[in-house]
Amino acid sequence: MNSSACAPAPTSCGATFDPSRQQAQLDELDKKLHLPDLWNDPESAQKLLQQRKHLERLLATEQALARHVGDLAALVELAHEGEPVEKELAVEIDKLRSQVEELETETLLGGPHDHRNAIVTIHPGAGGTESQDWAEMLLRMYLRWAERKGLATTITDITAGDEAGLKSVTFTVQGESAFGLLLSEIGVHRLVRISPFDQAGRRHTSFASVFVTLEVDDKIEVEMRPEDLRVDTYRSSGHGGQHVNVTDSAVRITHLPTGLVAQCQNERSQHKNKDVAMKILRSRVYQHELDKRMEAARKLEETKSDISFGSQIRSYVLHPYQLVKDHRTKLEKGDVNSVLDGGLDPFIRAYLVARRDGQVPPPYPMEEEGK
């Protein structure tokens, strides 16, 4: 092995990872954050804090990468001297590979809305309890993934299945690049397993669809006239406890021109439920307008209408063998349980690479979103 190949990385990692430039930006942000009248505009202040956090993370990532490369170079030198460091080398190579993959993912998130929060909705396909249980498994997978990424999640609406699982669930994912990362999950997900609900122990195939829209903030104008909205209140239902408060304060808002509906039952206050439902509805109306103008989004809508065989983007097979396969990128992983426990990063990264290379179309043409 040539030790020169493992020399410490340069201090600049290109346009996206440029420590000197990013440190200068961080210093400038710190000056703004110390201005006495900063918090007169809380929204702008929060945006500056988010930018600061992003820059700090990039700098920490670059430093960790340089450290791993340095450790690897030192181990290579020891190997040349005859020291038995094969195990340590393997560990450091794995760490470096993981770090580089994270950097690669960062460079792929360049869409104008990739940095925004996401709203995720899961619907089971035909199949009753089987598909409803699969929908709940997907919910757990995404909540575990978000927890690993340090992203905050809030379940805003949930309807329990008749026997088990979920008839539907909507939740928000808040944090850096939530929307950009979760774009890869839009579509139909297929599960093959021995059914725990079948006394004969037969194999069943279940489907569930995942929809992701960006959370629209006040910077994006969405016209919704009061006369176009119908607001209904109802009693909350669901699991209770950690998922939802069972009160009479749940709110459902219907946008009459489009028929789009958003509801929230997570808060005890009817006023707060209405605010959350309105935010979700604004996001859905915004996305609806994009869909009307974009051919790729119309193709997505055709997929949504068929949550069944042939329409899936990813298959999770638990029997007769163990395999998760993404049908767009052809990426396969044999450790299904790890994936279902939130190990989605390889699939997300593979999708982003394929999208960059034009091998798969984006679910929403991101270059058009700002129009």
The tens digit of pLDDT for each residue in 76-93 reads 888 888 888 889 888 888
In CATH, which superfamily holds the domain spanning 3-108?
A: Release factor (1.20.58.410)
pLDDT of residue 162: 87
Measured between its terminal Cα atoms, the distance across the chain in Å is 52
What's the token pair of residue 121? 């909705």
Q: What integer pLDDT is reported at residue 100 of this predicted model?
A: 81
Residue 369 is predicted with a pLDDT of 38
Residues shown for the chain: 371
Q: What percent of the chain lies above the pLDDT cut of 90?
A: 40
CA distances from 45 to 26, 76, 176, 177, 180 (A): 14, 47, 16, 19, 23
CA separation for the pair 356, 38 (Å, rounded): 38
Q: Residue 44 and residue 39: Cα distance in Å, rounded? A: 8
Give whole-number Cα distances, 91 to 68, 94, 95, in Å. Answer: 10, 5, 6
Contact (CB, 8 A) for 267 and 247: no
Would you state the CATH architecture of domain 118-368?
2-Layer Sandwich (3.30)
- Tell me: pLDDT of 59 over 50: yes
Mean pLDDT of the chain: 82
Q: According to the model, what pLDDT value does residue 12 have?
A: 36
Residues 366, 304, 162: CA angle, nearest 5 degrees: 130
Residue-level pLDDT at 220: 61
Domain with CATH 1.20.58.410 in the chain: 3-108
pLDDT range class, residue 368, cuts 50, 70, 90: very low
Which amino acid, 73?
A
- The CA dihedral of 73, 79, 83, 88, to the nearest 10 degrees, is 60
Q: Where, residue-wise, is CATH 3.30.70.1660 in the chain?
A: 118-368
Per-residue pLDDT at 248: 67
Backbone angles phi, psi at 209, to 5 degrees: -105, 145
Residue 150: phi, psi to the nearest 5?
75, 25
Top-confidence residue, 207 or 309: 207
d(CA 87, CA 75): 10
Q: Which two tokens stand for residue 164?
A: 């088990």
Query: What is the reported pLDDT for 109?
Result: 85
Q: What is the pLDDT of residue 364?
A: 62
Q: Which of 60-64, 100-104, 155-159 has the highest mean pLDDT?
A: 155-159
* pLDDT number for residue 65: 82
10, pLDDT greater than 80: no
List residues bridging with 248 in a β-sheet.
Answer: none
pLDDT at 15: 40
Helices 86-108 and 345-356 pack at an angle, to 10 degrees, of 50
Percent of the chain with pLDDT over 70: 84
Q: How confident is the model at residue 366 (pLDDT cuts 50, 70, 90)?
A: very low
Place of tokens 């774009």: 183
